[in-house]
Structure 1
Amino acid sequence: MTAIHGTAAPGFELVREAFASNFSERTDVGAAVALVIDGRIVVDLWGGVADPAEGREWNADTLANIWSTTKGVTAACFAMLVDRGQIDYDLPVAHYWPEFGVAGKEKITVAMMLSHQAGLCGFRDPATIEDFYDAERAAARLAAAEPFWVPGTQSGYHAITIGFLATALFKRVEGRTIKQFVSDEFGRLGMNIGLPLSLAHHAATMIAPPSLTSTGLVQDMTDAQFAAIANPPIDPLAPNSDDWRAAEIPSANGFATARSLAVLYGALAGDGTINGDRLIGTDAIASATVERISGVDAILGIQASWGCGFLRNTDQVYGPNEAAFGHSGWGGSFAFGDPAARLGLSYTMNRMGTDLINDPRNVAIVNAVYESL
């Protein structure tokens, strides 16, 4: 039986039980779960093994690659710029990044870009994983490219490329890349884009799913789908490499503790403060999470409702309350905030699952949380 460490406040025993059952019944190897309500950490649990080869245990500070759960962190960074008056969701991206305004992209707003409407879901010409390791060059290629569809007519998940677009725009507005901004603003919480060498000993080793690959999400792919998820195909073990960890991919190579993500989303779902310190105003949170587009996503082929970088709650993936928002990652990680319940909830792990949505481990944790409220 896997030992579960950490704390769960009285009344949240069901969450501990669900988390433990993820190991005994749902094949977790190493994982963590955290829950913040009204700014207070009420669940902070971890267990299992961070690195099976070394036998290194998961601990309170273990950092896992969270794949697309990273996108929610990037969305929070933009919302903070909006709050500070540095950027406007409704202005064209080209207002801040003139080189972007070519090839039919002149009217793409910041909101459209962040809500996956820009049609820049991948590269048109062949790409390799090494192309992901130069964020500025990747962004320049996308800025010169023609969209795969008329911008604003539909959403299509920019699985990797939204990270390059986002950090290029962010740097032109704020002066820092998203990677540096996260390090400065959130690093103390236990959250990074990429992984500094000094923290390598805290990293979990990712374990590939038994069957699903990044190209197995969609069959009979369109050109846009191929560009988004198969050009190049992503190795689920890439986060274990030094090159991936050194890169800046604010769509996929976030490394975080479950606690750090829960604290962030607890602030976003509450009064915008962390330990009494103002992070962001509630008006900016509302603007970031209001629906910008909804419908069947052209890449994922599933119903999606997008805010400015946040995935809005559909099909009760993030609990029963419609106002919940967050993001999930390939293999099973997730983090979300629920303003109605004033909570932030997060789960991180190293054994990747095969479900695109409704991973059984996620469902068990989310159900246990809401049964405990």
Structure 2
Amino acid sequence: MNRHHALGPKRVAGHTDPAFEEVKAVFEAGLANGDDLGGAVAVFVDGRAVVDLWGGIADRRTGRPWRRDTACPTFSCTKGVTATAALMVSQQYGRGTDEPVSAWWPEFAQHNKHETTLSDLMAHRAGLPVLERPVSVAQAADPAAMADLLAHQYPLWPPGAEHGYHALTFGWLVGEFVRRHTGMTVGEFTCRHLGDRLRIGASGAAVREAARISSPPPEQRVWSAENAPPIPDDTVTEMLAAFADPESLFIRASSNPVASYNDPEVLSAGWPAAGLVTTARDLATFYGDLIGGTLVAPGLLREAITERVRGRDRVLCLESAFGLGYMLPSQNFLVPEPAQRTAFGHPGAGGAVGLADVEHKVAFAFVPNLRRDWLAGDRRAYRLIAAVYDAL
């Protein structure tokens, strides 16, 4: 292994297998040119750590450096962990994912939701992507209350008929399956069965020592067709309109409750769709364990990463694709060609990505704290993943 140590805010620390030097070069370039403020990238291949790098600034206000064990909010990367918790519970209790939700959550059956299945919840087909009334950060910390609120809502489309990204409600819907069977929140279940370094509900020192999320200057946050990824112009136009409309499903699904991911109250709440605070190393280790067969049976994982939906997303407006909770390569999850057929995982708002590939035996995670958007030209994770596959 090639080892080196941080000598300044732009330098990188950690280790890299010589065959994966290009991954290090891409990561170093991101810090040097300002694409990144601080962050970490980790890669396992066939269970072996080939990249474990970190660098930059963890907190722009103080200049605190990013250290080996600096954790960071990862936004929707959380969904891959929550999906795995649900699969583990399904496996333990012999619950099929195509059973009606009402079999274990009777209250959910009201308002024409009686045929909704767990797979509908996990594949974003439930028709419940928004909370129909304003919810505070304090209220969102009560998973039972959030589940009850969703049980009383009417679906926006017949469950199973279409799909649309359940940006926040995914966690309380799928999390209720975990809670009803185990008596534990997703955060508690994760801590007990997946490790206490995957924090869905961080508090105390874990929050104080976490990286602080920053945003780039306004001119670097402009969404435009010029900077957009390779998707049709009319789709980009529709998306931009949705992002600008406070009544669009996209805004309603992603901004209730209104919250800052630097707020200790938010990070301690343990939102099971967006609350994961962890390191790149621990997120990549999780995906390595997942494809290694130590968390769920290989047959169940194959079922979970089999495509359940693909096409225009009612919330995101562009193409998305899902298995059982895991996102699959699509317009909303761009990966290089070698990864397109067999990779799965989940990106998070602002650039974080957790990814695995059973065929290539790859587990990957990138965790930054400078919140960029891929429609504004963010290719940080894509370039790192491409360098990984080039090295295989």
Give me the TM-score of the superposition, normalised by structure 2.
0.87
Alignment-derived partner of residue 199 in structure 2: 192
SS at match of 1:218: helix
Alignment-derived partner of residue 229 in structure 1: 254
The offset of 1:59, in angstroms, is 1.1
Cα contact 2:203–2:264 (8 A) shared by 1: no
Cα contact 1:120–1:158 (8 A) shared by 2: yes
Alignment-derived partner of residue 41 in structure 2: 33
Cα contact 1:335–1:346 (8 A) shared by 2: yes
Alignment-derived partner of residue 389 in structure 2: 370
Alignment-derived partner of residue 251 in structure 1: 273
- Using the TM superposition, name which of 96-105 and 207-216 deviates more: 207-216
The offset of 1:289, in angstroms, is 1.0
**What does 1:83-122 correspond to in 2, within 5 Å?**
83-122=91-130
Kindly indicate whether residue 217 of structure 2 is the aligned counterpart of residue 204 of structure 1: no
Alignment-derived partner of residue 54 in structure 2: 46
Alignment-derived partner of residue 279 in structure 1: 295
Alignment-derived partner of residue 302 in structure 1: 318
**Structure 1 residues 76 and 363: alpha-carbon distance in aligned structure 2, compared to 1, 3 A threshold:** same
* Aligned mates of 1:241, 1:223 — CA distance in 2: 26
Output one character per residue of 1:31-62: Cα deviation in whole Å (capped at 9) or x when no partner. Answer: 00000111111100000111122222111111
**What does 1:313-352 correspond to in 2, within 5 Å?**
313-314=329-330, 317-319=334-336, 320-321=338-339, 322-352=341-371
**Structure 2 unmatched runs, 5+:** 1-7, 224-238
Alignment-derived partner of residue 180 in structure 1: 188
Alignment-derived partner of residue 282 in structure 2: 260
**Structure 1 residues 231 and 147: alpha-carbon distance in aligned structure 2, compared to 1, 3 A threshold:** same
Could you tell me which amino acid in structure 2 is paired with residue 257 of structure 1?
Answer: T
Kindly indicate whether residue 171 of structure 2 is the aligned counterpart of residue 163 of structure 1: yes
Output one character per residue of 1:307-338: Cα deviation in whole Å (capped at 9) or x when no partner. Answer: 11100122572332312101000100001101
Cα contact 1:292–1:306 (8 A) shared by 2: yes
C-alpha root-mean-square deviation of aligned residues, in Å?
Answer: 2.2
- Using the TM superposition, name which of 77-86 and 143-152 deviates more: 77-86
* Aligned mates of 2:377, 2:79 — CA distance in 1: 18
Aligned residue pairs: how many? Answer: 363
Give me the TM-score of the superposition, normalised by structure 1.
0.91
Cα contact 1:330–1:356 (8 A) shared by 2: no
Could you tell me which amino acid in structure 2 is paired with residue 370 of structure 1?
Answer: Y
Alignment-derived partner of residue 263 in structure 2: 241
Cα contact 1:209–1:331 (8 A) shared by 2: no
Cα contact 2:60–2:214 (8 A) shared by 1: no
**Structure 1 residues 148 and 254: alpha-carbon distance in aligned structure 2, compared to 1, 3 A threshold:** same
**Structure 1 residues 297 and 358: alpha-carbon distance in aligned structure 2, compared to 1, 3 A threshold:** farther
Cα contact 2:90–2:97 (8 A) shared by 1: yes
* Aligned mates of 1:136, 1:365 — CA distance in 2: 39
Alignment-derived partner of residue 275 in structure 1: none
* Aligned mates of 1:186, 1:65 — CA distance in 2: 17
Could you tell me which amino acid in structure 2 is paired with residue 191 of structure 1?
Answer: L
**Structure 1 residues 226 and 349: alpha-carbon distance in aligned structure 2, compared to 1, 3 A threshold:** closer
Cα contact 1:119–1:156 (8 A) shared by 2: yes
**Structure 1 residues 205 and 175: alpha-carbon distance in aligned structure 2, compared to 1, 3 A threshold:** same
The offset of 1:281, in angstroms, is 1.3
Cα contact 1:16–1:45 (8 A) shared by 2: yes
**Structure 1 unmatched runs, 5+:** 273-277
**Structure 1 residues 265 and 255: alpha-carbon distance in aligned structure 2, compared to 1, 3 A threshold:** same
**Structure 1 residues 351 and 131: alpha-carbon distance in aligned structure 2, compared to 1, 3 A threshold:** same
* Aligned mates of 1:340, 1:115 — CA distance in 2: 22
SS at match of 2:253: helix
**Structure 1 residues 222 and 196: alpha-carbon distance in aligned structure 2, compared to 1, 3 A threshold:** closer
The offset of 1:250, in angstroms, is 0.7
Aligned pair partner of 2:243 in 195, 198, 218: 218
Alignment-derived partner of residue 291 in structure 1: 307
Cα contact 1:100–1:106 (8 A) shared by 2: yes
Could you tell me which amino acid in structure 2 is paired with residue 305 of structure 1?
Answer: A
* Aligned mates of 2:62, 2:105 — CA distance in 1: 46
Cα contact 1:210–1:354 (8 A) shared by 2: no
Cα contact 1:7–1:43 (8 A) shared by 2: yes
* Aligned mates of 1:152, 1:358 — CA distance in 2: 33
Percent identity for Structure 1 against Structure 2 = 33
